[in-house]
């Protein structure tokens, strides 16, 4: 498994050291153990965890230039993806992991403690409430998300957290043409502009991602994000 992780990242031009390898496999063990009592992931086979969670999460470093000491919020992080793998690879980053389920946040706290990750803030909040919180609103250089929602909804969840000049990085499926078309108005309304879309092929798998990079160019209007559930039921069109 060590070799699979090292070789896969090497194909993405990403180097990894011994300490980072140890952290990833400690994380894997904690994930498998906790998953027996808390629903964290449907992916439980070791090889799948390495490829679909670890390599997949870290792959954005191949396409996104994240400056030293940047602040990142991972919205709808679940079991910590992509936020914890990014923190393992880039210890300089200030990382905030946001999730709406307290049991998952307990898992994140435990994992970060065991992995000895510093400057990670785990928060139990819905994205809609977090985006209106003055301590979090427009405070981050980057927002990352692998959450399963269309771009219109995801933009309403994520863009309010980002400073002007920062970026929202969304990991999406292989074809985002339709989603980009449908989400165009929402992205503009929320203060964003699509900067670029990059394709990533995940090594040793058949997974192809589109990484959508949306630049924050103006402040998000105060009425966004709307109350919990509104974005899903009534997306900006």
148 pLDDT exceeds 80?
no
Question: What is the tally of structural domains in the chain?
Answer: 1
201-216: per-residue pLDDT in tens? 999 999 999 999 999 9
Q: Three-state SS string across 13-28, please?
A: CCCCCHHHHHHHHHHH
Whose tokens are 């929402």? That residue is 186
Query: What pLDDT is recorded for position 80?
Result: 97
29-45: per-residue pLDDT in tens? 999 999 999 999 999 99
Asked if the bond preceding 82 is cis, omega within 30° of 0, the reply is yes
90-144: per-residue pLDDT in tens? 999 999 999 999 999 999 999 999 999 999 999 999 999 999 999 999 999 999 9
CATH number of the domain at 229, please. Answer: 3.40.50.150
Query: What pLDDT is recorded for position 147?
Result: 78
Over residues 46-62, mean pLDDT: 96
Domain holding 161, by residue range, is: 2-233
Over residues 143-151, mean pLDDT: 90
């Amino acid at each position: 498994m060590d070799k699979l992780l090292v070789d896969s990242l090497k194909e993405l031009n990403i180097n990894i050291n011994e300490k980072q390898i140890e952290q990833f496999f400690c994380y894997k063990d904690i994930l498998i153990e906790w998953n027996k009592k808390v629903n964290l992931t449907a992916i439980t086979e070791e090889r799948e965890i390495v490829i679909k969670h670890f390599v997949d999460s870290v792959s954005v470093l191949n396409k996104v230039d994240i400056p030293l000491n940047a602040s990142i919020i991972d919205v709808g992080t679940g079991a910590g993806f992509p936020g914890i793998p990014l923190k393992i690879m880039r210890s300089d980053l200030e990382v905030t992991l946001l999730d709406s389920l307290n049991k998952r946040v307990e898992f994140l706290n435990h994992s970060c403690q065991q992995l000895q990750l510093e400057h990670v803030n785990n928060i139990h909040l819905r994205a809609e409430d977090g985006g209106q919180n003055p301590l979090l609103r427009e405070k981050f250089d980057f927002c990352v998300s692998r959450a399963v929602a269309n771009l219109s909804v995801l933009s309403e969840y994520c863009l309010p957290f980002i400073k002007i000049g920062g970026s929202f990085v969304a990991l999406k499926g292989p074809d985002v043409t339709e989603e980009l078309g449908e989400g165009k108005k929402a992205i503009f309304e929320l203060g964003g502009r699509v900067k670029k879309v990059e394709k990533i092929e995940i090594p040793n798998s058949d997974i192809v991602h589109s990484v959508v990079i949306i630049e924050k160019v103006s402040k998000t209007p105060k009425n966004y994000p709307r109350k919990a559930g509104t974005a899903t039921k009534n997306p900006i069109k």
